Structure 1
Amino acid sequence: MSTGLKAKHQRLVLIAIAVAVLIAAGLLAAWALRSQASYFYVPSEMVANPPEPGQAVRLGGMVQAGSLKTAPDGITINFVVGDGDARVPVRYSGIVPDLFTEGSGVVAEGRMDADGTFAADTLLAKHDENYVPRELHDMTEAQKRAAVEETSK
């Protein structure tokens, strides 16, 4: 059964179809990931050029001292994230990470409300380079080395 095309032309048609399928798959993947991307803002950028209300973004900065307040429901917290130039109020409901404290770094994932409050869905607490786990905090240097050696075996 003959298709009327020479073998050389058949290969060119197959290559053209394969390239078209790859381009279509790439465009489809880019379109699907478009809604998953979240932009990162620091407070001064967010105040100067706020995202659209409801757009998924990340806000990073320092939790301002004296700003952490727990709502009467016991699971909602309100605090302010700042970067030295601007401050953004944040509301979060859920379990707070262990390292989350006033004066510590935080990255909050969520959306900006129409009233200017950042509604966080997720909090990621950041620690400095001097972080020591609670379990090792009261140990001597020798005890710390022994504990590290024990876990690395």
Structure 2
Amino acid sequence: MKKNLLALALGVLVMGSAVAPAVAQDTTKPRQEARMQKHKGERKSPEERAQAKTERMDKELDLSKSQAKKVKALYLKEAKEHKEKRAHFKKGDKKDAAAREQMRAEMMAAHQRHNEEMKDILNKKQYAKYEEIQAKKRAKHEQQRDSRKSHKGERQHRS
């Protein structure tokens, strides 16, 4: 009996030492570090976000200089509003369903205003391409969300 128990304990130790190096070489570490920095409050300023979005739009849609200025002003205004709403929402009770629904309605209205202003800034060809890009982003986001939901379900069933 003691020999069997000793052999079992020795086997567990050997298996543990064989698995430890593989666990130590986790490939998700850079992603975790980026997430940690994001949650430390090291977010980009509204100006930096507006500049990055404008550069991306300029590259994708070949904006004129006047269009680029208008787009940057629009994104800057939105980034500042978003920062204020985020701060206001953090102060409130996040678990309150009514507050969440109100925030969602405000975000949808802001998104609608943004699209209207973009339609005024861009020409028809650029706006069509802009809508196509937005549709691709939405599809990618939904796919990621569905993937996270399925992974979450798998984790819950394992427990």
What TM-score results when the alignment is normalised by the length of structure 1? Answer: 0.30
Larger Rg: 1
Query: Could you say which structure has the higher helix fraction?
Result: 2
What TM-score results when the alignment is normalised by the length of structure 2? Answer: 0.29
